[in-house]
Amino acid sequence: MKKPLKSLLLASTVAAVISVPTVSTANSGVENLTKNPANWASWGGDYAGTRYSKLDQINTNNVKTMQPAWSFSTGVLRGHEGGPLVVNDIIYIHTPFPNTVYALDQATQSVIWEYTPTMDADVTIPVMCCDTVNRGLAYGDGKIFLQQSDTVLTALDAKTGKRIWSVQNGDPKLGMTNTQAPLVVKDKVITGISGGEFGVRGFLAAYNIRTGQLDWKGYSMGPDGDTLIDPKKTTAWKDGKVQPVGANSSISTWEGDQWKIGGGTTWGWFSYDSDLNLIYYGSGNP
């Protein structure tokens, strides 16, 4: 298993830069989809997460004449913190808990399929901080990827909504939940974890998009083997200059084993630079 080698410690949060093994797969089509402004194939519209659309039908001259054409209600009265995906004229909408996914025909607005996972609300909801939100879906390899609140990562057939595979990414009984949007890069779907307020140690994990097998997991803090960093190549500003952090730098500033409950969870959004083959992400609350 080839491991990521780069990370950067910034102030009280961790911003990491991770290299991804070069693999030639059909999933390179995701980037091509994002180049077509008629699609919105990633949470931010493109791998950079710019949330910018090149469509120009709406402009400063006609925006004042806009009126609602149609609407769709998810029926869930909780925070909706992620927008829909649009891939080849199909709109994919997700909800907060219970994380229902709808596929809508963009032309007719009819529901093509819907999927609601089975989750234990009594176990999951009590450990969800700050509402039962979900920040988005991911698309790749003909699949829709749903990161459920109970930490289960699920792959659905984008055409039929049939569940292809599911994998447990954490344990709600230990305070772990998930709220972030996954990111598909090549043959991997990247996800994180929530629960820093309960002492959950944050991480980023990569699962194979075809099988759901865990390819690698990198923690926000801990020994170099856990954080997947190279202590000679990872640098920080120290004594007035940039220099290598040294071995096991992520635990040297902690009192005893406190790093094991250090937080640094990864519940936001991730981006990817295809030219440099690097994933960028930030950590949350300590």
For residues 280 and 274, is the Cβ–Cβ distance under 8 A? no
Q: How many helices (H) and strands (E) are present in the chain, helices listed first?
A: 4, 18
Query: Which CATH number among 2.140.10.10, 1.20.120.1730, 3.40.50.300, 3.40.120.10 corresponds to the domain 8-48+76-282?
Result: 2.140.10.10
Reading the block at residue 206, the tokens are 């990569």
Which stretches within 125-252 are classed as H helix? 224-227, 249-252
Residue spans per domain, the chain: 8-48+76-282
Q: Could you give the CA distance from residue 99 to residue 10 in angstroms, rounded to a whole number?
A: 33
Residue pair 274/27 in contact (Cβ under 8 Å)? The answer is: no
Q: Residue 12's pLDDT is what?
A: 32
pTM here?
A: 0.89
How confident is the prediction along the chain (286 residues), in pLDDT tens digits per residue? 443 333 333 333 345 666 555 544 535 688 899 889 999 999 999 999 999 999 999 999 999 999 999 999 999 999 999 999 999 999 999 999 999 999 999 999 999 999 999 999 999 999 998 899 999 999 999 999 999 999 999 999 999 999 999 999 999 999 999 999 999 999 999 999 999 999 999 999 999 999 999 999 999 999 999 999 999 999 999 899 999 999 999 898 899 999 999 999 999 899 999 999 999 999 987 6
Cα angle: 282, vertex 199, 220; to 5 degrees: 30
Q: Which residues pair with 272 in a beta bridge?
A: 279
pLDDT at res. 15: 52
Q: Is 1 exposed, middle or buried (0-12, 13-18, 19+ CB in 10 A)?
A: exposed
The 3-class secondary structure across 86-145, one letter per residue, is: EECCEEEEECCCCCCEEEEECCCCCEEEEECCCCCHHHHHHHCCCCCCCCCCEEECCEEE
